[in-house]
Structure 1
Amino acid sequence: MLIRNLQAAHTDVTGGRLCIRTDGARISEIAVDLLPLPGDEVVDGSHLIAVPGFVNSHHHFFQALTRCVPAAQQLRLFDWLRFHYPLWGNFDAEMFRAAYRLAMAELLLSGCTTSCDHHYLFPGAVAADLTRLEVECARELGLRFTLLRGSMTLGHARGGLTPDSLIENDADVLRDCERTVGAFHDARPFSMTQVHLAPCTPFNVTPELMRDTAVLARELGVRLHTHLAETADETDYCVARYGKRPLALMEEWNWVGPDVWYAHGIHFNDNEIAQLAATHTGVAHCASSNCRLASGRMRLRKLLQAGVPIGLAVDGCASNDSSNMLAELRMAMLVHRTPDDLEFFTARRVIDLATSGSAALLGRSDIGQLRVGMAADIVLFDGADLAYAGAADPVAALLFCAPTRPHTVIVNGKVVVHNRELLTADEREIASSAREQARRLLSKAN
Structure 2
Amino acid sequence: MTPPVDLLIRNSLLLCAFDDTGTELPGGWLAVDDGVIVAVGDKDTAPPEAETVVDAAGCLVLPGLVNAHQHLYQNLTRCYAAAAHVDNLTDWFWAYFTAWGRLDAEAVAISTTVGLAELALSGCTTSADHLYLHPEPELIDAQIQAARDIGVRFHPVRGSMTLGEADGAICPPNLVERVDDVLDDSRRLVEAYHDPTPSSMVRVGIGPSTLMSSSDAAMIESTAFADAFDVRLHSHVADDPDEEAYVGARFGRRPLQVYEDFGWLGRRSWLAHVVYPNHDEINALAAAGVSVAHCPSMTMIDGGLPGGPPPIRAMLDAGVNVGIGCDGATAADHQSLWLETKTAMLLSRQREGRASAMSARDALRMATRGGAHAVGRDGEIGQLSVGTNADVSVWRMDTLPYAGVLDDPVTGLMHCGPASAWHTIVGGKFVVRDGEPVTVDVPEALRRHRAAASRVQGLTCQ
Q: TM class, shorter-chain normalised?
A: over 0.9
Contact 2:82 2:96 (C-alpha < 8 Å) held by counterparts: no
> Which residue of structure 1 aligns with residue 14 of structure 2?
8
- Give the CA deviation at 1:233: 1.2
Contact 2:454 2:460 (C-alpha < 8 Å) held by counterparts: no
> Which residue of structure 2 aligns with residue 382 of structure 1?
396
For residue 247 of structure 1, give the secondary structure of its aligned residue in structure 2.
Answer: helix
Partners of 2:24 and 2:241 lie apart in 1 by 45
> Which residue of structure 2 aligns with residue 53 of structure 1?
64
Paired residues for 1:38-437 under 5 Å: 38-75=49-86, 76-123=88-135, 126-127=136-137, 129-293=138-302, 294-295=304-305, 296-338=308-350, 340-365=353-378, 366-392=380-406, 393-437=408-452
Partners of 2:347 and 2:412 lie apart in 1 by 17
Amino acid paired to 1:16: P
The CA RMSD measured in Å over matched residues stands at: 1.6
Partners of 1:181 and 1:232 lie apart in 2 by 34
> Which residue of structure 1 aligns with residue 3 of structure 2?
none
Contact 1:87 1:445 (C-alpha < 8 Å) held by counterparts: no
Q: Which runs of 5+ in 1 are unaligned?
A: none
- Give the CA deviation at 1:38: 4.4
For residue 40 of structure 1, give the secondary structure of its aligned residue in structure 2.
Answer: strand
Partners of 1:133 and 1:335 lie apart in 2 by 35
Contact 1:52 1:379 (C-alpha < 8 Å) held by counterparts: yes
Does 2:34 match 1:21?
no
Amino acid paired to 1:66: T
- More deviation, 110-119/423-432: 423-432
- Give the CA deviation at 1:360: 0.3
Deviations 1:199-243 (A, max 9, x none): 100010101111011011101111111000001111110110111
- Give the CA deviation at 1:179: 1.0
Deviations 1:133-173 (A, max 9, x none): 11100000001000111000100112211111111111100
For residue 186 of structure 1, give the secondary structure of its aligned residue in structure 2.
Answer: coil
Give TM-score, length-normalised by structure 1: 0.96
> Which residue of structure 2 aligns with residue 32 of structure 1?
42
**Count, aligned residues:** 443
Contact 2:15 2:25 (C-alpha < 8 Å) held by counterparts: no
Contact 1:47 1:382 (C-alpha < 8 Å) held by counterparts: yes
Partners of 1:39 and 1:222 lie apart in 2 by 37
> Which residue of structure 2 aligns with residue 438 of structure 1?
453
Contact 1:9 1:395 (C-alpha < 8 Å) held by counterparts: no
- Give the CA deviation at 1:14: 4.3
Partners of 1:261 and 1:331 lie apart in 2 by 21
Partners of 2:235 and 2:354 lie apart in 1 by 28
Check 1:347–1:10 CA distance in 2 against 1; reply closer, same or farther (3 A cut).
same
Deviations 1:235-281 (A, max 9, x none): 11011011111111111110101111110000111111111111111
Partners of 2:253 and 2:116 lie apart in 1 by 37
Contact 1:184 1:195 (C-alpha < 8 Å) held by counterparts: yes
Give TM-score, length-normalised by structure 2: 0.93
For residue 168 of structure 1, give the secondary structure of its aligned residue in structure 2.
Answer: coil
- Give the CA deviation at 1:388: 1.3
Partners of 1:15 and 1:101 lie apart in 2 by 34
- Give the CA deviation at 1:382: 1.0
Partners of 1:442 and 1:159 lie apart in 2 by 26
Partners of 1:220 and 1:307 lie apart in 2 by 27
Contact 1:13 1:30 (C-alpha < 8 Å) held by counterparts: no
Contact 2:179 2:218 (C-alpha < 8 Å) held by counterparts: yes
Partners of 1:372 and 1:269 lie apart in 2 by 39
Partners of 2:48 and 2:67 lie apart in 1 by 34
Amino acid paired to 2:250: R
Partners of 1:90 and 1:417 lie apart in 2 by 32
- Give the CA deviation at 1:445: 10
Partners of 2:361 and 2:23 lie apart in 1 by 14
Partners of 1:397 and 1:210 lie apart in 2 by 43
Check 1:43–1:154 CA distance in 2 against 1; reply closer, same or farther (3 A cut).
same
Contact 1:257 1:279 (C-alpha < 8 Å) held by counterparts: yes
- Give the CA deviation at 1:352: 0.2
Contact 1:185 1:194 (C-alpha < 8 Å) held by counterparts: yes
Contact 2:235 2:271 (C-alpha < 8 Å) held by counterparts: yes
Check 1:59–1:274 CA distance in 2 against 1; reply closer, same or farther (3 A cut).
same
Q: Which runs of 5+ in 2 are unaligned?
A: 1-6
Check 1:38–1:343 CA distance in 2 against 1; reply closer, same or farther (3 A cut).
closer
For residue 117 of structure 1, give the secondary structure of its aligned residue in structure 2.
Answer: strand
For residue 60 of structure 2, give the secondary structure of its aligned residue in structure 1.
Answer: strand
- Give the CA deviation at 1:342: 1.7
Contact 2:31 2:48 (C-alpha < 8 Å) held by counterparts: no
